[in-house]
Amino acid sequence: MLDSKPTLETLLNHRSVRKYTGEPISDEMLTAILEAGRAVSTSSYLQAVSVVRVRDKAKRTAFRQISNNLSEDKYNNLIAQGKRLGHGYVEDCAEYLVFCMDAYRHHALADVNTDWTEVMLIGAIDSALMAQNMLATAESLGLGGVYIGSLRNDIQRAGELLALPKHVVPLFGLCLGHPDWDSKINQSQRPRLPLDVIVSTDTYQTPSDDVLSAYNDEVKAYYGGRGLELDWRAQIAETFGGDVRPFMLDYLQSQGFAKR
What average pLDDT does the chain have?
Answer: 96
pLDDT band at 36 (very low <50, low <70, confident <90, very high): very high
Domain with CATH 3.40.109.10 in the chain: 7-189
pLDDT band at 183 (very low <50, low <70, confident <90, very high): confident
Q: How many CB atoms lie within 10 A of CB 53?
A: 10
Residue 132: pLDDT band (50, 70, 90) is very high
Q: Is the pLDDT at 90 greater than 80, yes or no?
A: yes
| pLDDT computed for residue 72 by the predictor | 87
Query: Rounded CA gap, 165 and 156, in Å?
Result: 11
Mean pLDDT of 208-232: 95
Q: Looking at residue 259, what DSSP letter applies?
A: -
Q: Which residues pair with 170 in a beta bridge?
A: 100
Strand-pair partners of 43: none
Among 32-36, 73-77, 92-96, 256-260, the least confident range: 73-77
Give residue 160's pLDDT.
98
Q: Amino acid identity, residue 156? A: Q
pLDDT (tens digit per residue) in 64-76: 999 999 988 998 8
Report pLDDT for 226: 87
Q: Among residues of the chain, what percentage have pLDDT more than 70?
A: 100
Q: What is the CATH number of domain 7-189?
A: 3.40.109.10
pLDDT tens, position by position, 161-181: 999 999 999 999 999 999 999
Q: Is the pLDDT of residue 184 over 90?
A: no
Burial of 206 (0-12, 13-18, 19+ CB in 10 A): exposed
Q: What is the pLDDT of residue 219?
A: 96
pLDDT at 197 over 80: yes
111 by Cβ neighbours in 10 Å (0-12 / 13-18 / 19+) ranks as exposed
Kindly list the distances between the CA atom of residue 66 and the CA atoms of 87, 91, 157, 163, 166, in Å, as whole numbers in the listed order. Answer: 10, 12, 8, 16, 21
Please, which residues have CB within 8 angstroms of residue 129's CB and are 6 or more apart in sequence? 40, 41, 42
Q: What is the pLDDT of residue 138?
A: 98
